[in-house]
Each structure stands twice: as C-alpha cells, then as structure tokens.
Amino acid sequence: MIELEGLTKRFGSKIAVDHLSCQVRPGIVTGFLGPNGAGKSTTMRMMLDLDNPTSGTVRIDGKHYRELQEPLKYIGALLDAKAMHGGRSAYNNLLCLAQSNRIPSSRVDEVLDMVGLSAVAKKKSKGFSLGMGQRLGIASALLGDPEILMFDEPVNGLDPEGIHWIRNLMKALASEGRTIFVSSHLMSEMALTADHLIVIGQGKLLADTSMADFIQENSRSYARLRSPQQERLRDVLHQEGFTVVETAGGVLEIDGATTEELGELAARHQLVLHELSSQRASLEEAFMQMTAGSVEYHAHSERDPAAEPPVVGAGWGESWNKPEGTDRTDGKGA
C-alpha cells in the first residue's frame, strides 16, 4: 500500500505536482495516467525519495522511504531502463544492488533467468538493445521479490513481444497479491492491464476510480444508425426528441438512446435499417476528453477568479479564444 498525502512539487514558479492525494492498493494493477509532462515521473521519483517534495508526504506501508532498511525487499522500481552502468555486466549490475540489500547472489541468477537474460548475463549492459535494457531494469525491480512494484512507462520502445510479456508479467505479479503501480501516457495500454486508474493532468488529480467506472463516467455511449431512408429516419427521430448527429458516410449517431428503443421506433414507422449498433467511445477518447478538460480549465483561468494563477499556456489560450467566440466547449467532445 502506498499513500500519497497532499504531495506537492514545485520547480521554481512551475508546479509539477499539485496537492496530490491518493492510495495505491495491493492485489491490483493501478494505472497512473497523464499526458506527457503531467507530473507522473516526478511523482514516482518522490515516492522513491529521489526528489524531495515541496510539501506533503509519501508513505509506503506506513513508513517513509528513507526509513526502509532494505528498500528493495519492499518496493522494486523501474524508472528508466538505462539507469545502469553500461561498462558493467548485467550480472554485476544486479549483484551490487543485491549486496546492498543483503539479497543472496543466487537471486541474481534467478531474476536474470526470469527475464530471459541468462545468456547475456556476463555481457556489458552498454550493448543491450532497448528491450534488453528494459528487461534488465525489470530484473532489478524483481531482485528483492518485493511486495510493491513500480514501473514508469514500461512498454516504451518495446516490440509487440516485449509489450505482451510485460503485460502478462504485471498481471501475474498482481495475482500474487502484490501492489503494482504502472505509469503510462497510453490509455489503450492501460485498458489491457490496469484494474484501477489514477489520472493526473498538470500535476492535479483528475480521477481516482476503477477502470469500469472511469469508462462509464467519461466516455460517451451512443447508438449508430444507418438507413437508406435517411431523411425520413431523421425526421422521426427529431419528432421523438432525440439529438441526432450526422457523420461521414450518412451515419447517424444518437446520444443517450438504447438500440432497443431505436429499433422499435424504426419498426413502428416501417423504416429499413442497414445498421443499428450501440457504441462506446474508446478509453483513449475518454482519456483525451478528460485531459483536454484540464487544459481548458487552465486556458480559462484568467476569467475565473477562483482558479490557480495562470500557467505558461494561459496567454496563448486567451488569444486563441477571442476570435473564436464563446462556443468552443462544443468542439471538444467530438
């Protein structure tokens, strides 16, 4: 269990992480999402006591990181894969970490075998490919067989095989009752691995919910209709009070309607349908919608007296906003 409480990090006048409070619970994969520059890595670095928070605390099983005597046995982290000395062999890179935490050297062979690097254990890590470097980083995270595992963008730069491997590994680790905390800026990746989501934008907490709830709350569900009698169909729908959006290829999209009621409606009016399906916006769209909201909030901040002081982008947002008029909220959802 990792608990963040009012975690704040300020670099000069820029707030990287802004009063972040949340919990990372054991036994599940928690996805940590945000666009680039949202403060994900800074948060993870503060969790590991690499950066000092401006204010707020991080507790790991109730303790501050610096109080952990053998931290590798509590928490294993992959921050960036290349955080190893390239002139040292894979085995020695892991051995020196193991020794500092009193982990027996036999465990080094075990984790190398686990990530499939046994054959190159004696090779210098400098010559490793991106995927191999990533595996070595994961081996170092698994070294202490820790209860908590943290991965920062683990699939970055990996080939499909590697991505598949990491995905399964994370699920397997979580099923053993471990706490898995994984960051990403790819929502589609999270959809396949995470059970719980923590979303941040510009350092602020935007969502802390289960994956299912997140989709429910943030994605638009709509029905898709296609008919050769499109004109009539549209009139009928208007009469019934549905909002119809016409998209490319003569497809009608109707928000907030079930396929049952639409099908029955069409039958009553004897309309031929070529397509009737219920659609759900992808997770990626939901994520974009949510983070777009956080950007919009800042762009409007000069008008809103209660808002945070304007950030760098505020001036740009304002000048863009003026000629466009006031109806820009419409455009965002599409």
Residues that bind another protein (CB under 8 A): 26, 45, 48-52, 65-66, 68-73, 77, 79-80, 82-89, 92, 95-97, 99-104, 107, 110-111, 113-117, 119-120, 123, 127-129, 131-132, 135, 140, 142, 144-147, 161-162, 164-165, 168-169, 172-173, 176-178
Shortest gap between Cβ of 5 and another protein (angstroms)? 19
Provide the phi-psi class of 110: left if phi over 0, else alpha when psi is between -120 and 50, else beta: alpha
Shortest gap between Cβ of 35 and another protein (angstroms)? 23
DSSP E strands, 95-250? 148-152, 179-184, 196-201, 204-210, 221-226, 244-247
Shortest gap between Cβ of 271 and another protein (angstroms)? 50
Q: At what angle do helices 211-218 and 283-299 cross, to 10 degrees?
A: 60
Residue 150, beta-bridge partner list: 77, 181
Q: Report the sign of the C-alpha dihedral through residues 120, 121, 122, 128, in that order.
A: positive
The span from the CA of 245 to the CA of 163, in Å, is 38
**For another protein, the closer CB: 138 or 207:** 138
**For another protein, the closer CB: 140 or 294:** 140
**For another protein, the closer CB: 39 or 71:** 71
H helix runs in 248-282, sequence order = 259-268
**For another protein, the closer CB: 20 or 173:** 173
**For another protein, the closer CB: 113 or 260:** 113
Shortest gap between Cβ of 263 and another protein (angstroms)? 42
- Output the six-digit token pair for 47: 């969790």
Shortest gap between Cβ of 186 and another protein (angstroms)? 21
**For another protein, the closer CB: 127 or 333:** 127
Q: Which residues, in sequence order, are CB contacts of 207 under 8 Å at separation 6+?
A: 197, 198, 199, 214, 217, 218, 290
Shortest gap between Cβ of 157 and another protein (angstroms)? 14
